[in-house]
Amino acid sequence: MEYRTAREALSPGEVEKAFGLNRDLLAHWRCKGKGPRFIKAGRRKVLYLRRDLEEWLRSNAVETR
């Protein structure tokens, strides 16, 4: 898994600001094996790739009539 710039890898706090996904909810999903794909960088550092977040959001879209 490669990424070109640091802007493509977001911390949970940055995800919250950019996508409106609460960081506590992201942590809960990680523990349950749900939610968007993430990278575990060391013991405590968690990162999300922007493209993974966008793909996950698209795949979870619900169309209404």
- Using the predicted structure, report yes or no on whether residue 38 has a pLDDT greater than 60: yes
Residue 64 lies in a domain: no
Say if 35 falls within a structural domain.
yes
Q: How many independent structural domains does the chain possess? A: 1
Tell me what pLDDT residue 65 has: 87
Q: Examine residue 65 and state whether it is found in any structural domain, yes or no.
A: no
**Nearest C-alpha neighbor of 3 from the set 54, 52, 49:** 49
Global confidence as pTM:
0.82
Domain assignment of residue 52, yes or no: yes
| Domain limits for position 18 | 6-59
Determine, yes or no, domain membership for 15: yes
CA–CA gap between residue 59 and residue 29 (Å, rounded): 16
> Are the CB atoms for 6 and 45 separated by under 8 Å?
no
